[in-house]
Amino acid sequence: MNPRHHTFIRLESLTSPAGKDLVDIFENYWWVVDSFENVVFFMGQTPQCNPKKEEAEALRDLSYPGYEVRQIPFVFIPLACEEFDYDV
């Protein structure tokens, strides 16, 4: 794993929606979690999770050995307006 290609975000900051932000909701996904209670994003944008436990474990085994795979009831990822492609 190249740490420069990964972003780690505190899990506790993503388990409830923040204010009035637009969010992407992940319900009952299996997440790659490090020993500091952070979830992992590849290249800062792609969450390292999957709705299937086996797929999340395969991802962990391939790229994040030693990390935990944990099912989390709800994760709320804030969305930036720049992520949308608007035709104006």
Structure tokens at 38: 């952070």
Are 33 and 67 contacting, i.e. CB atoms less than 8 angstroms apart?
A: yes
Task: Read off the pLDDT of residues 49-76 as tens digits, 9 standing for 90 and up.
Answer: 999 999 999 999 998 999 999 999 999 9
CA-CA distance, 82 to 85, in Å (whole number)? 8
Model-level pTM greater than 0.85? no
Task: Read off the pLDDT of residues 20-36 as tens digits, 9 standing for 90 and up.
Answer: 778 889 999 999 999 99
CB hemisphere CA count around 70 (13 angstroms): 16
Q: What are phi and psi of 51, to 5 degrees?
A: -70, -15
